[in-house]
Chains A and B, each alone.
Chain A
């Protein structure tokens, strides 16, 4: 399986990248980890005429906290999150995701930003980004803008990144005290895209009431989706089994998956609920509140 013919540029700076993207417009695609783009090209499902490789842009490979945000650069690989002490200690939702996305080999190459830009309906990072209220920084020849994840994920395989644009980084707000998250995924084998997945982020106040909630599901629609009904139910409430069941049911109601080899619509809808329940229980459990199963 060989890609259709294409032109290849290895960019040496962000400016050069933007110039190349501006020049080739809709014919050009950014090449990050290549773990989605290259397979698609080999199957000839994608036939970009021009590739702009950003792997030499080491300045885009970082994980840093600044201004109340964790910034993840466009060339930061999944494996960097999986092995980061910072992520392990402060960002359990991201730590979970980085250990469940794809397989260990793919994670050596694949990037978080590339995954968000790819916007596969069953991709993992979009789900986590929604629950974690991420923002994406996008640059083009004329400037830089920041887009909330909810506006970034436009449709299957379509994002707010336009022609001639480069996503520079994704930012996650640094969690306030007593915040935890969890990412849950059902897959047929390691390295498979999700049959269903769910992310939850919960902040509790001193009384144990929920003061912040993010809930999202994957493989249940054209792209990852926030379960706003569940977030509303959770906001201000104290965690109980009933509350979690209700949040899970909200996910079941929202889920609008397609049937494929991974499962039927009925199964996937139910799994969206099961996984939202499990993600909430795990996140709240990480805050020391047990007995919700």
Chain B
């Protein structure tokens, strides 16, 4: 925390619901997305996709497509291979992925050829005319089939197996022994289904090679513009100074805009070769069928406990479906991301988790959808497990949690799977939630309803996340440490420009970043312009995903501002004609110790920095800071869902949903609430309607929004929110990440509530999404079983 005195809140202070500075632009339709950009002489790329999930490519005939007036080129994998671009390495470097298929296709809708033409329509018409002859092969549609290795999918790899890796952490033997010795234990397979973040704006690029300057400009839907610049340089050999990535306004990302996609590479290669700009904008179907999905973890959860409900051991064994390539964008040393957070908010003496990942004939990806590297899967596993344990113990699920929470005195808490949790007061937060929702009254109501055969359920989820990757000793992507950066320049008249290595996709950085700097500097946040996404101007950073922006770049902003403040202190001393050591910073201004009435503002100092610099100081007032976080941050929450289930139709009505979040210091409560609302809506969708499903032949069943469902305001429940505040002790302003909390925490609350409603029927678990039919079927088979 800041060492300066805590100011009395004023217009510069953190914690105010300042309206979003970016909104006037968006609300008036003045946003500037990749698809809004039109360059002179621009060509269009349209991609030909495979209709088969697994097939050998016998022949590709470009003739008919090339004959269409306006078509400039048709590119295939073999054409790219000539430039060594048919395959590129995946982010963590352990695998490679195809750009355009060579030899065979490995998932339905895989990119097979690219058509470059003078208009989007011509490109698409001609793409239909590219004749590809396939020889279909038997597909592998799930990781359990894959595991048998009867069909080897990746003949390009040295090891002739579909098994990608085994990963484990914790003490296997001690955990097995503790579970075996426990009074009570549970074991359940819970599946976190494959789903998709489906940002409203799909992915796209304009690649613009300027033959005169030799510079390649990429207007890119990128959550991590600098990382993408480095990847392009490494893969193509183009010097990094000759690559300019501009990520303009983004219409949502949710991790979907972290990976490098074939469309980007083909457009860039085409622009380099042809020498004119080439644009590619994904269709909705392309976005859903080829870009980064999320989850697809099959988790066997085991918990041991004493008969009075003290947990003793946790074991989770996971089988992961990674699709055709191991392209999950995890940090290098974390193949299963931060799944080790699976012990959650509970004090387990013993824990062990292991994971095996497999190739299948499905699109690649796995780390996305508002999820800090598999924290969502882990949270779901533990929160479902605790619910199932409570039922087995015949104990109230709130009581079980209160009994097993890590206590506030235990922080910093070293978890058995290797994290050091920074701070938390789990008892406080859950008690507040129980109180607000009126837990006891709800349980009473439920009791009465059960006597009438009505199905009402209450579900709790008290999750803990690990976000803000991350400390350089553990975290890197392609070797680049996961620091982040900020640069602030204060102008003579006391306004400023702030640039960061992150990239907002709707999170409101233009507002919150200004608020952080404003509070540190005593400048008006309205006059701190925030700019991100341009690699020519922004300092190098790893981008925005995994709830890392506030923990890492937010800290860098505070630290850069403090550097400026230190210099400003010298200027203040010069202006106040006092020794530097006598200058105090209080209530967003400087004064000489003991003379607070004679304060000077940062605005005055800024002017002096350019007009009357202090002796022995450089003119100007600016600073850059690269922040290497000492630890992750561990936001947490207590969520409670109340549902009524229609036994006849399986319809679940979410009657109430309360989310209490603790993300430490809150910069802008309105923005945090907005993040919570958005993430809860996604969690609701995941729990009840979203799944990327495939039929037995490997065909995608969700290729557009009529089949991949995104809820509207009409069926979305009303969200009740509140908070507690346990600042992060190691973050400069005490903030933790929050963007992902609601998506991480809510699915288990919904499922737990439905399972609680179905408890009288003896139903223990149903895998998401909890469709009407699945609930109907569970009710039916329970009733059928009761009859016989």
Contact = CB atoms under 8 A, between A and B. Distances in A.
Contacts of B776: 267, 270
B284 interface: yes
A195 to B, nearest CB: 7
B386 to A, nearest CB: 29
B649 A274 contact: yes
B709 A188 contact: yes
Contacts of B707: 261
Contacts of A189: 689, 709-712, 714-715
Contacts of B702: 261
A270 B709 CA distance: 23
A256 interface: no
B715 A190 contact: yes
Contacts of B124: 2
B773 A1 contact: no
A1 B285 contact: yes
Size bin of chain A's contact surface: 20 to 34
A101 to B, nearest CB: 13
Size bin of chain B's contact surface: 20 to 34
Nearest to B651: A186
Interface string B650-674: 0100000000000000000000000
B703 to A, nearest CB: 9
Interface in B765-788: 771-773, 776-777
Interface string A249-293: 000000000000101100100110010000000000000000000
A195 B284 CA distance: 23
Contacts of B125: 4-5
A191 interface: yes
Given A188-B689, A191-B712, A261 B773 contact: no
Nearest to A39: B706
Nearest to A43: B704
Contacts of A186: 649, 651, 772
Instruction: Determine the main DSSP class of A at the interface with B.
Output: loop
Interface string B392-426: 00000000000000000000000000000000000
A73 B772 CA distance: 36
Nearest to B777: A267
Contacts of A2: 120-121, 124
Contacts of A261: 693, 701-702, 707
A4 B121 CA distance: 9
B120 A264 contact: no
A271 B714 contact: no
A264 B777 CA distance: 11
Interface string B697-727: 0000110101101111011000000000000
Contacts of B285: 1
A5 B124 CA distance: 11
A270 B773 CA distance: 10
A195 B712 contact: no
Contacts of B284: 1
B612 interface: no
Contacts of A264: 773
Interface string A27-71: 000000000000000011000000000000000000000000000
A1 B706 CA distance: 15
A103 B714 CA distance: 9
Interface of A: 1-2, 4-5, 43-44, 103-104, 186, 188-193, 195, 261, 263-264, 267, 270-271, 274
The 4 closest A-B pairs by CB, nearest first: A190-B714, A267-B773, A263-B773, A1-B283
Given A2-B124, A195-B772, 16 more contacts: A5-B125, A103-B712, A104-B714, A186-B649, A186-B651, A186-B772, A188-B689, A188-B709, A188-B771, A189-B710, A189-B711, A189-B714, A190-B712, A267-B773, A267-B776, A267-B777
17 contacts: A1-B284, A1-B285, A2-B120, A2-B121, A5-B125, A103-B712, A186-B651, A186-B772, A188-B772, A189-B709, A189-B714, A192-B706, A193-B706, A195-B772, A267-B772, A267-B777, A271-B649
